[in-house]
Amino acid sequence: MINLTIRQMSELLVSKQINVQELSGLFHDRCRVHNQTTGALITLNNEINAAELLNAQASIEAGDSLLAGIPLLHKDLFCTQGVKTTCGSKMLENFVPPYDATAVKRLADAGMVTLGKANMDEFAMGSSNEHSAFMAVNNPWDLSRVPGGSSGGSAAAVAARMVPIATGTDTGGSIRQPAAFCGITGIKPSYGRVSRHGMVAFASSLDQGGVMAPGADDCGLVLSAMTGHDSLDSTSANQPPWQWKKPETADMQGLKVGVASAWIEGLKDPDIKQKTTEAIEQLRCNGAEIIEIELPHADLAVSAYYVLAPAECSSNLSRFDGVRFGYQAKEISDLESLYRQSRTEGFGEEVKKRIMIGAWALSSGYYDAYYLKAQKVRRLISEDFKKAFTEVDIIACPVSPELPFKHGEKVDGISMYQADKFTIPASLAGLPCLSMPIGFSENPQGRLPIGLQLIGRYFDEQSILSVADKYQQQTEHHLQVPEAFQ
């Protein structure tokens, strides 16, 4: 049961071989049993929401949604009415939103059943989930290693099949990198595709909500229900809801796949290099044409991102002042110390570091040299992609230059930031991109998952998900479950 796809689970529900309570109950139990070892959830709802179950049941009977009755977790930065939304931070430890994020509401309307909230790096800043204010998350494939971040709780929960689906968000790689580290599929749609209303903001021009699931078909089905214009988010694209179409065969005839060979040749990890090469070869065997592309400015992406994202975060996080919402310091003498103490005590180290970098980059005298320069680099990177996409339909490249690392291994921020070098370029360009599992390492470090990234043209989620689905019609990497969680 735990390894079924949405379509398979839906069939069981419709044919009454299982009912909605039993299906959600089964995964709720798994969340309870495995949360101690994985740390994947910040909140497991005590009870499964009765209204959601009723709605799911009605939807199943009406036969109007494949998603009806399918349980899921939301990353703990999606506001959930009446359920704590901490954003992995002490600052929001007791914040109970009075409304649902649009994405949450749309999935509930489609009949999905929310079991709880997934752990994450504080305010989505990080690539290891070690920056959660509550607990680190362990990678189900090797508990001594990180699951990636910032959507590491979502990724670990899906990898351990504590839930079949989890939402995530991706600003510079936070869906794709943890998906790769945990051996599952994760898609970040085009910027503007999914409403950001009710998502706690980190860097507003980059943040996008998306989906994590074992396979691409599941991601496509759930993402479809999240999309569509939302008047509550001014950056939500004025487009009708997108509808995923599952391809019938694995044939890739006519598809042009762009590859920047230098990215692959530069990989230091032999297993990642080999699996990436093999996966691209598989696309070729299925009929795709592999075309060499160049992304000349992509090397500057990490530097530009770590100016732009902190700049936006310094502004977004100024709202947490100890007055309007969030943590309020007790020992204060005046208004100034209320602000200072609340922020000093409420935010963790990584968040404070970024607020300071951002405030500095935006300050007069430095603005032109850093913020403006980074914006120009961002534009050049977008132009590189635009040019590449005149010749190819999708781009295939690595997700992470490294295998999942050990807890505490990356203590200096810079080496963690550098590990985002393959995910950040597509984020800066706002393009849809995903990570899919392509095998496991075989070296002495053990059996650790490896992912391949597929990047698509703006608003072409269909092509990257189709290629992933076709690849998954012929492979079983995405169906592997770590032994301790089978």
Residues at the interface with ligand GLN (CB under 6 A): 124-127, 150, 170-174, 202, 309, 420
Q: Catalogue the long-range contacts made by 385-388 (C-beta closer than 8 Å, 24 or more residues apart).
A: 385/295, 385/425, 385/426, 385/429, 385/431, 385/455, 388/258, 388/293, 388/294, 388/295
Residue 177 CB, shortest distance to ligand GLN, in Å, is: 7
Quick one: tokens of 329?
Answer: 């310091």
Rounded to whole angstroms, the Cα distance separating 161 from 3 reads: 7
- DSSP letters along 343-394, please? HHHHS-HHHHHHHHHHHHHHSTTTTIIIIIHHHHHHHHHHHHHHHHTTT-SE
Which one of the listed residues 59, 89, 132, 150 is annotated catalytic?
Answer: 150
Question: By C-beta, is 86 or 171 nearer to ligand GLN?
Answer: 171
- Backbone angles phi and psi of 211, in degrees to 5: -130, 145
Given a contact cutoff of 8 angstroms between Cβ atoms, the answer to whether 172 and 305 are in contact is yes
The least CB distance from residue 444 to ligand GLN, in Å, is: 27
CB of 350 to ligand GLN, least distance (A): 8
The answer to whether 75 is a known catalytic residue is yes
Phi, psi of 115 (to 5 degrees): -95, -20
Q: Are 188 and 167 in contact (CB under 8 A)?
A: no
Smallest distance, ligand GLN to C-beta of residue 298, A: 16
Q: Which is nearer to ligand GLN, 85 or 171 (CB)?
A: 171
In whole angstroms, how close is the CB of 148 to ligand GLN at the nearest point? 9
- b/e code 404-419 from CB counts within 10 Å (16+ = b): bbebeebeeeeebbeb
What tokens does 255 get? 């598809």
Tell me whether residue 142 or residue 170 sits nearer to ligand GLN (CB atom): 170
CB of 166 to ligand GLN, least distance (A): 15
Residue corresponding to tokens 């339909």:
393
Nearest residue to 134 (alpha-carbon basis) of 29, 30, 34, 43: 43
- Annotated catalytic, 150? yes
In sequence order, what DSSP letters do the residues of 125-169 get, joined into one string?
A: --SSSTT-SS-PPPBTTBTTB---SSSHHHHHHHHTTS-SEEEEE
Closest among 287, 225, 281 to 256, alpha carbons compared: 287
Identity of the residue, 283 or 377, whose beta carbon is nearer to ligand GLN in the bound complex: 377
- Distance in Å, CB of 253 to ligand GLN, minimum: 35
Instruction: CB nearer to ligand GLN: give 27 or 202.
Output: 202
Cα–Cα–Cα angle for 74, 78, 84, nearest 5°? Answer: 85
Beta carbon of residue 416, minimum distance to ligand GLN (angstroms, whole number) = 7
Name residue 386's amino acid.
K
Question: If we measure between CA atoms, which residue out of 479, 393, 383 comes closest to residue 436?
Answer: 479
Write the DSSP symbol of residue 91.
Answer: G
Report the residue number, 93 or 350, with the smaller CB distance to ligand GLN. 350
Rank residues 203 and 252 by Cβ distance to ligand GLN and give the closer one: 203
Contact in structure between 223 and 461 (CB atoms under 8 Å): yes
Least CB distance to ligand GLN at residue 9 (A): 29
Helix (H, G, I), strand (E, B) or coil at 206: coil
Judged by CB, which is closer to ligand GLN: 60, or 399?
A: 399
Active-site position among 10, 127, 154, 174? 174
The span from the CA of 478 to the CA of 103, in Å, is 25
Q: Which is nearer to ligand GLN, 126 or 449 (CB)?
A: 126
85 Cβ neighbours under 8 A, 6+ residues apart: 76, 77, 78, 79, 92, 95, 96, 97, 117, 200
Q: Residue 174 catalytic?
A: yes
Residue among 65, 75, 188, 410 flagged as catalytic: 75
Residue 424 main-chain phi, psi, to 5 deg: -65, -40
Catalytic residues: 75, 150, 174
